[in-house]
Amino acid sequence: MPPVPALPFSGRFRLTTRTPLVALVTLVLVGCEGINPSDSAAQTRTLPPSRPTATGPVPAQNIDASRRTAITTAVERVAPAVVTVQTETVERVRVDMFEYLLGGRSGERRNAGIGSGFIVRNDGVIVTNAHVVMGATSVSVAMLDGTTYRATIVGVDETNDLAVVRIDARDLPVAQLGRSSDLIVGEWTIAIGNPFGFVLGNNEPSVSVGVVSAVGRNLAGQTSGGGVYIDMIQTDAAINPGNSGGPLVNANGEVVGVNSSIYSPSGGSVGLGFAIPIDRTKRIVEDLLEHGVARHPWVGIRLETPQVQSAREVASVGAVVARVAPGSPAERAGVRVGDQITSAGGRGVRNPFEWEARLLDLRVGESLPITLRRAGRDVPVTMRVDDAPEVTAPKVTVLRELQLVTVTDAIRQERGIASNAGALVFKVSDRIRDEIGLQEGDVIAQVGRTRVTSAQQVSEAIDRQGARGAVVLVFERNRQYFQTQFTLR
């Protein structure tokens, strides 16, 4: 990853048909069956005329009835609740001063984005993908009839690529939510959304139809949404850019997934689309509405990283415990380094993907029975799922828009942090993300020349250096170190 640039805080085929001879002979034999050429009676026998066929038009009512199917009914139920999500982001760009004086670029570039979503509550609550709204400075929602509302972002969960936005409206059509746990491979699926946005010239969502190709798919490759997607629904219903965040619907007209990504070497649909299961979506939406953040289940287990050459090899490497966080549910349950997890919650675990998928099914506070393979025997244990340690840790607010948490051994092991100490960026505003370059999950390790060991120490060091001039931060991201600089206003 390239270093994050220092950003000032202060404003800165001819087809030929050939009938085989055998087939021709067969047709002739069938046509002459029951006639003996040596029989004179047979030679003068007259064959009865063929029965006339109906030539009249098919009644119109039969045609109309055949046009209506379960699919058309399902679309009628859901389409009114499908919306277009429009976003705008502001990007800082370098400006040549001579160009600026001549009326050129102002130092900002505005980029428009578009996706889909669907209404889940009649008071304006809408579900979409996190990657549709992440970093947006403004969000608006267009309804089926073209009415557009300004929207606010209620919460975003990047881990599951889900977001909730809200508009100020009442008595809206609502999409009925189904269940993804009882999906049948081969059953109909319908993807509804706005591929390529307003290039198509209107607000009405488009529909593509396919089947459930597979369930429980784990992706770690070229997907349009980016990142790693766990325990997904695979469908061959066409999903294209702009479909992101729209509903995947079954033949009953129920939403069973949120269209999120495609696997494509070309950027267009090749029949490999993926949706986030609706059962997981319900849980995340509840968390975002109630807490503003998703409560991710934590048990304190970190697995060995498999040394493999392809994603296919990962499927059978097993799930071997590499670290157990101190004070974690796993430690309390007696899990040890070197144990192999073979099942969790009554479902088999064969690789790290399947372990992560089992965790996604959980809510904080629930119990998780797992089976460990240790020294050639099976050991059953049960863990109570907790919040991630940084969620319950004390927070220190810096610059009024930045929440920091002191890095503990549990946090360091859970997140794989290289620094022995520092302050974890727990929450950050869009303004500080854009102007300073800090992101949630970064670890501030140094302020100026001072190594820091706590969130409070970071706050104090920023205040001291900010009073004298520029503040320089050294921070860790993905086990690499970067530097940023800003001044206080």
CATH code (residue 336): 2.30.42.10
Same domain, 122 and 159: yes
* pLDDT at residue 212 is higher than 70: yes
CATH of the domain at 192: 2.40.10.10
pLDDT score at 29:
29
How far apart, in whole angstroms, are the C-alpha atoms of residue 254 and residue 249?
5
pLDDT score at 22:
35
Better pLDDT: 465 or 149 = 149
* pLDDT at residue 266 is higher than 80: no
pLDDT score at 201:
56
Same domain, 123 and 155: yes
Q: Is residue 182 a part of any domain in this protein?
A: no
Query: pLDDT tier at 415 (50, 70, 90 boundaries)?
Result: confident
* pLDDT at residue 130 is higher than 60: yes
Q: Is residue 34 a part of any domain in this protein?
A: no
Same domain, 116 and 101: yes
Same domain, 411 and 382: no
DSSP-assigned beta bridge partners for residue 127: 118, 164
Q: Is residue 69 a part of any domain in this protein?
A: no
pLDDT score at 196:
64
How far apart, in whole angstroms, are the C-alpha atoms of residue 178 and residue 278?
7
Same domain, 143 and 207: no
Q: Which of 167, 202, 230 is the last residue of a domain?
A: 167
Q: Is residue 70 a part of any domain in this protein?
A: no
* pLDDT at residue 105 is higher than 80: no
Per-residue pLDDT of 12-22, as tens digits, reads: 433 333 333 33
pLDDT score at 97:
56
How far apart, in whole angstroms, are the C-alpha atoms of residue 357 and residue 394?
29
Better pLDDT: 155 or 90 = 155
Same domain, 375 and 405: no
pLDDT score at 451:
93
- Domain containing 379 equals 297-305+316-387
pLDDT score at 20:
39
Q: Is residue 16 a part of any domain in this protein?
A: no
Lowest-pLDDT choice from 37-41, 270-274, 340-344, 385-389: 37-41
Buried b (16+ CB within 10 A) or exposed e, 15-30: eeeeeeeeeeeeeeee
Unique residue bearing structure tokens 């079954």: 250
Q: Which of 102, 137, 167 is the last residue of a domain?
A: 167
Same domain, 117 and 157: yes
Same domain, 162 and 108: yes
pLDDT score at 99:
56
Q: Is residue 361 a part of any domain in this protein?
A: yes
Note if the pTM is more than 0.75.
no
Same domain, 398 and 477: yes
Same domain, 347 and 363: yes
* pLDDT at residue 423 is higher than 60: yes
Residues designated as active site: 131, 161, 244
Same domain, 475 and 396: yes
Q: Which long-range contacts (CB under 8 A, 24 or more apart) does 484-488 make?
A: 484/4, 484/6, 484/7, 484/436, 484/437, 484/438, 485/6, 485/8, 486/6, 486/7, 486/8, 486/9, 486/10, 486/12, 486/435, 486/436, 487/8, 487/9, 487/10, 488/9, 488/10, 488/399, 488/462
* pLDDT at residue 222 is higher than 60: no
How many domains does the chain contain in total?
4
Per-residue pLDDT of 366-408, as tens digits, reads: 999 999 999 999 999 999 999 888 888 899 999 888 999 999 9
Q: Is residue 61 a part of any domain in this protein?
A: no
Per-residue pLDDT of 289-321, as tens digits, reads: 998 888 888 999 989 877 766 666 767 788 999
Q: Is residue 56 a part of any domain in this protein?
A: no
Query: pLDDT tier at 199 (50, 70, 90 boundaries)?
Result: low
Lowest-pLDDT choice from 142-146, 163-167, 179-183: 142-146
Percentage above 70 pLDDT, the chain = 77
Q: Which of 334, 360, 387 is the last residue of a domain?
A: 387
* pLDDT at residue 34 is higher than 60: no
Query: pLDDT tier at 244 (50, 70, 90 boundaries)?
Result: confident
